[in-house]
Chain A
Amino acid sequence: MNLDLGLTESEEMLKKTALDFLRRDAPKEVIQALQETDTGYTEELWRKAVEMGWLGVIIPEQYGGMGNSLTCAGVLFEALGTGPLPGPYFSSGILGSSIILEAGTEEQKRRVLPAVTEGEQILTLALTEPGYSWEPGAVQTTATSKNGDFVLDGLKLFTIDAHAATHLIVVARMGKGADPAEGIALFLVDRNSDGVSVRRLPGFLAGRSFEVKLDSVKVPRSAMLGDKDDGWQALEQGITKSIPILCAYKVGACQAVFEMTLEYSRIRVQFGMPIGRFQRVQDMIIEMVDHLEAARWTTYEALWKLDTQRPAAESVHLAKAVTSQAYWEACTLAHRVFSGISYSKEHPVSFHTRASRSLYSYLGEPSYHRQHLARLLTAA
């Protein structure tokens, strides 16, 4: 046992830098405005994030990135989650990059990853479809070989950050085997290609969820990641490594929601005393702090396991199941403590509520991860 659950000095520094950035460059008015936009970022914010190396935080130095650990990236995204800062930072810098790292050929990595680090290319994953599921069996988008190139046809739904992205990582089926994961390939598709159309889904999803139509989209052979039609495993690896960083974003978000709720319960006076004195209010804050801490430590442990090359499947499913639920519940509890004022679209709790609902399903809602846990726990 060599228990050490603290951050390193450089992780502490990164955390501070990111929190300062949010305070200075993305106060609540900015975040409220960004939530309404199609891309979730401004050129100015994007450029600053690129300058600080955040888009290349986990990309190895040989591809122009910072080559940091996943834990370090988690620290960064935990800070960004306090905003909650929208924008394709995770989609591109973490998830997209991880998939390229897992699935891409050396040539593809050299071509794409430096551009991602520089913020010139923005990636996002286009996996789910109208038959919504994160399992390979639900992939119906097809890729057919034609004169050495490929043609993609299908419809992707609930694609996050599709408008901000310059490139989509499209998951498509080339054949069918006994295992639904067989015959699936990943394609890096320029979003401006002929036949690609992107439409934002109106609703409560903080403006970042899209429908992506692929209508006879021609892509060159070089767009097929890994140059093979067996990409599901690499995709799964990339997703597994990314999930805890998304979780860390939610941990930061829960922390922010908790802090503002606690503070409000100390200053809001009703019946002649701060409402925090009421045990029913205390109950809600205690429940919130349970969610927060459960989210934090399941996330950190998953990051540590991945960074130290330990078997991490259980921990990753655990972290995602716990943090998605935690963020959702923390926001609901915050509304109960704040009541009226928190329903304002200008109120930070409402930003978090939309983000917590938007991110609840992203990369699998709790029920999906609980199902996977059940399989791991009961497999004879």
Chain B
Amino acid sequence: MDFSLEYTEEQEEFAKEVREWLEENVPKDLVDIRDTLKMSHEQWQKRRELTRKLGEKGWLYPGYPLEYGGGGLDMDHRYVLTQELAKKGLALPPLYDMGILAAPAIMAYGTEEQKKRFLPPIFKGDVLTWQLFTEPEAGTDEANQQTKALRYVRDNDYFIVNGQKIFVGSFPSAPEQFYLLTRSDLEAPRHQNLSSFLIPANLPGITIQPLDLFPLSTLPVACGPTGANLEAVKHSVFFDDVRIHESHLIGREGQGWMVTSATLEVEHGGGAWIARNLVVEKFLAQCKSNPNVVKRLRENPQLLNSVVNIYIGAQIERLFSMRNADGKGGVYGGPQLALYSKMFGARLIADMAAVLGPYAFVDDTEWGLDEGIFEVGQRCGICLAPGGTPEALKIGISRALAIGR
């Protein structure tokens, strides 16, 4: 066995190339942004620019085939890229872009023509994508779609979409496109009545409304598929007689559930990545170097239990992700990692609060703690839903073990 995460000689060579490129192309004010929700519009634009540059280089979606605009790079190189970006406090992609969830579905179920048309703009960073799955009546029961995309009787090439999506997207402005799941057949049985589309976000009849929520982020890890610096302000998106040409279908009409399943598999932990929990590293550094924290730990040995809980949880999370990355997760590895990560996030903030006291919840340049700790405090205890509730993930594991329905 080999658990080594140190670079090999060949990886070190690539890392050097990456470091030099990042040094040249990442503006100083994009490095280690503490809270991306507070980014200025100008900073966001710079990130947008960086996204395009990474796309040009093939490093935005490094694992996808060259013929569709990806990087054609193997796991080893992808690992180097994510590590080097993480050192600058950036994830891949560096902006909220659910192309990472749309792309695997297009790869799996898109026709060759659709792949050639849909994938390059995503991989090159020319378009950002929001995923429009969740609805008021379609939460964990994702298939219970109430939006309707019905064939327009007078012009059969078009679908007319009506309905509402909720808890979707990011900030600060609308993306270029939506990855939309919707009902397209009122008669067909469940799971056969849905269709998936990749559509421009600016079609007439679409309205986007921001929601006033706590910042959402799925995972506290830095190098996860939806990295730590991808906080999202969520929105409702309303469709009011929106005309969609059939060329925007992914797969065929009625295949929506299959297409969605390919996405959910990745979203529910199937994507291979190697997690390094930077927040835990920062927290443990506090336990050694912050005199205040050191004193608290000395005076109340009970707190050591929380420190050890955090350490153990982070190691298990890391090992599960390495296991999955090496394809040793078996049938349940994907959702198991996703579930573990979420529940660890919830326990993490409880244990951090035990050790740090109210400092864990203060976002202040004078009294706040090292970067990222507050952000975790704000998110992890409560935001367990994005990407599937823990309960939905348990359904996934049970099915994988052939005991679920």
Minimal beta-carbon separation of A75 from chain B (angstroms)? 10
Q: A279-B394, A290-B340, A298-B315 are contacts. A304–B284 as well, Cβ < 8 Å?
A: no
C-alpha gap A380/B297 in the complex (Å):
12
Residues A5 and B328 in contact, CB atoms below 8 Å apart: yes
Asked if B403 is at the interface (CB within 8 A of a chain A CB), the reply is: yes
Q: Which residues from chain B contact A322 at a C-beta distance below 8 Å? A: 312, 316
Asked if A178 is at the interface (CB within 8 A of a chain B CB), the reply is: no
Residues A5 and B398 in contact, CB atoms below 8 Å apart: no
B residues 73-90 in Cβ contact with A at 8 Å: 75-76, 79-80
Max count, chain A CB within 10 A of own CB: residue among B11, B297, B308: B308
Residues B328 and A379 in contact, CB atoms below 8 Å apart: no
Q: Please tell me the number of chain B residues within 8 Å of chain A, measured between CB atoms.
A: 47
C-alpha gap A266/B75 in the complex (Å):
37
Residues B11 and A1 in contact, CB atoms below 8 Å apart: yes
Residues A6 and B328 in contact, CB atoms below 8 Å apart: yes
Q: Which residues from chain A contact B7 at a C-beta distance below 8 Å? A: 1
Asked if B206 is at the interface (CB within 8 A of a chain A CB), the reply is: no
Q: Which residues from chain B contact A303 at a C-beta distance below 8 Å? A: 1
Q: Which residues from chain A contact B339 at a C-beta distance below 8 Å? A: 286
Residues A266 and B403 in contact, CB atoms below 8 Å apart: yes
Asked if A297 is at the interface (CB within 8 A of a chain B CB), the reply is: yes
| Nearest-neighbor residue (CB-CB) of B330 within chain A | A293
C-alpha gap A370/B306 in the complex (Å):
10
Pick from B79, B274, B304: contact of A378, CB under 8 Å: B304
C-alpha gap A7/B401 in the complex (Å):
23
CB 8 Å contact bits of B89-127 with A (1 = contact, 0 = none): 000000000000000000000000000000000000000
C-alpha gap A147/B315 in the complex (Å):
53
Q: A294-B316, A377-B287, A378-B287 are contacts. A3–B322 as well, Cβ < 8 Å?
A: yes
Residues B8 and A2 in contact, CB atoms below 8 Å apart: yes
Pick from B1, B284, B287: contact of A6, CB under 8 Å: B1
Q: Which residues from chain A contact B311 at a C-beta distance below 8 Å? A: 318, 373, 377
Residues B316 and A4 in contact, CB atoms below 8 Å apart: no
Max count, chain A CB within 10 A of own CB: residue among B2, B6, B326, B403: B403
Residues B308 and A266 in contact, CB atoms below 8 Å apart: no
Asked if A300 is at the interface (CB within 8 A of a chain B CB), the reply is: yes
Max count, chain A CB within 10 A of own CB: residue among B288, B312, B326: B312
C-alpha gap A301/B5 in the complex (Å):
12
CB 8 Å contact bits of B284-300 with A (1 = contact, 0 = none): 10011100001001000
Pick from A265, A297, A321, A379: contact of B312, CB under 8 Å: A321
Asked if A197 is at the interface (CB within 8 A of a chain B CB), the reply is: no
Asked if A33 is at the interface (CB within 8 A of a chain B CB), the reply is: no
| Nearest-neighbor residue (CB-CB) of B391 within chain A | A279
Pick from B1, B308, B394: contact of A4, CB under 8 Å: B1
Asked if A289 is at the interface (CB within 8 A of a chain B CB), the reply is: yes
Interface of B is mostly: helix
Minimal beta-carbon separation of B305 from chain A (angstroms)? 7
Q: Please tell me the number of chain A residues within 8 Å of chain B, measured between CB atoms.
A: 43
Asked if B350 is at the interface (CB within 8 A of a chain A CB), the reply is: no
CB 8 Å contact bits of A192-204 with B (1 = contact, 0 = none): 0000000000000
Q: Which residues from chain B contact A289 at a C-beta distance below 8 Å? A: 332, 336, 397, 401
Asked if B166 is at the interface (CB within 8 A of a chain A CB), the reply is: no
Q: Which residues from chain B contact A274 at a C-beta distance below 8 Å? A: 403
Residues A277 and B405 in contact, CB atoms below 8 Å apart: yes
Max count, chain B CB within 10 A of own CB: residue among A2, A293, A297, A301: A293
Q: Which residues from chain A contact B289 at a C-beta distance below 8 Å? A: 380
Residues A286 and B394 in contact, CB atoms below 8 Å apart: yes
Residues A5 and B403 in contact, CB atoms below 8 Å apart: no
Q: Which residues from chain B contact A5 at a C-beta distance below 8 Å? A: 1-3, 322-323, 326, 328
Asked if B325 is at the interface (CB within 8 A of a chain A CB), the reply is: yes
Q: Which residues from chain A contact B323 at a C-beta distance below 8 Å? A: 5, 293, 297
Asked if A222 is at the interface (CB within 8 A of a chain B CB), the reply is: no
Residues A286 and B304 in contact, CB atoms below 8 Å apart: no
Residues A297 and B4 in contact, CB atoms below 8 Å apart: no
Q: Which residues from chain B contact A300 at a C-beta distance below 8 Å? A: 1, 3
Asked if A285 is at the interface (CB within 8 A of a chain B CB), the reply is: yes
B residues 184-206 in Cβ contact with A at 8 Å: none
CB 8 Å contact bits of B249-289 with A (1 = contact, 0 = none): 00000000000000000000000001000000000100111
C-alpha gap A229/B6 in the complex (Å):
40
Minimal beta-carbon separation of B274 from chain A (angstroms)? 8
| Nearest-neighbor residue (CB-CB) of B297 within chain A | A378
Residues A3 and B326 in contact, CB atoms below 8 Å apart: yes
Minimal beta-carbon separation of A3 from chain B (angstroms)? 5
Max count, chain A CB within 10 A of own CB: residue among B80, B287, B328: B328
Q: A1-B5, A300-B1, A378-B304 are contacts. A285–B315 as well, Cβ < 8 Å?
A: no
CB 8 Å contact bits of B387-405 with A (1 = contact, 0 = none): 0000000100110011111
| Nearest-neighbor residue (CB-CB) of A371 within chain B | B304
Pick from A1, A282, A304: contact of B394, CB under 8 Å: A282
Q: Which residues from chain B contact A3 at a C-beta distance below 8 Å? A: 2-5, 75, 274, 322, 325-326
Pick from A266, A281, A298: contact of B402, CB under 8 Å: A266
Residues B304 and A304 in contact, CB atoms below 8 Å apart: no
| Nearest-neighbor residue (CB-CB) of B76 within chain A | A1
Asked if B346 is at the interface (CB within 8 A of a chain A CB), the reply is: no
C-alpha gap A290/B11 in the complex (Å):
33
C-alpha gap A171/B305 in the complex (Å):
30
Pick from B1, B284, B336: contact of A293, CB under 8 Å: B336
Residues B4 and A283 in contact, CB atoms below 8 Å apart: no
C-alpha gap A377/B286 in the complex (Å):
10
C-alpha gap A257/B332 in the complex (Å):
17
Max count, chain B CB within 10 A of own CB: residue among A3, A298, A303, A304: A3
C-alpha gap A308/B312 in the complex (Å):
22
Q: A3-B325, A4-B2, A262-B403 are contacts. A297–B316 as well, Cβ < 8 Å?
A: yes
Max count, chain A CB within 10 A of own CB: residue among B1, B76, B294, B308: B1
Minimal beta-carbon separation of A282 from chain B (angstroms)? 4
Residues B1 and A379 in contact, CB atoms below 8 Å apart: no
A residues 327-378 in Cβ contact with B at 8 Å: 370-371, 373-374, 377-378
Q: Which residues of B contact A (CB under 8 A)?
A: 1-8, 11, 75-76, 79-80, 274, 284, 287-289, 294, 297, 304-305, 307-308, 311-312, 315-316, 319-320, 322-323, 325-326, 328, 332, 336, 339-340, 394, 397-398, 401-405
Could you name 10 residue pairs across A and B whose Cβ atoms are closer than 8 Å?
A3-B4, A3-B75, A4-B326, A266-B403, A277-B403, A282-B394, A297-B319, A318-B312, A370-B305, A377-B284
- If A3-B3, A262-B403, A286-B394 are given as contacts, then 16 extra A-B residue pairs at C-beta distance below 8 Å, sorted by A number, are A4-B2, A71-B1, A282-B403, A285-B401, A293-B320, A297-B320, A297-B323, A300-B1, A300-B3, A304-B2, A305-B3, A318-B311, A322-B316, A370-B304, A373-B312, A380-B289
A-B complex: 10 closest residue pairs judged by Cβ atoms: A276-B403, A297-B319, A374-B304, A282-B398, A4-B2, A5-B326, A294-B316, A370-B308, A3-B326, A5-B328
Q: Which residues of A contact B (CB under 8 A)?
A: 1-7, 71, 262, 265-266, 274, 276-277, 279, 281-283, 285-286, 289-290, 293-294, 297-298, 300-301, 303-305, 308, 318, 321-322, 370-371, 373-374, 377-380
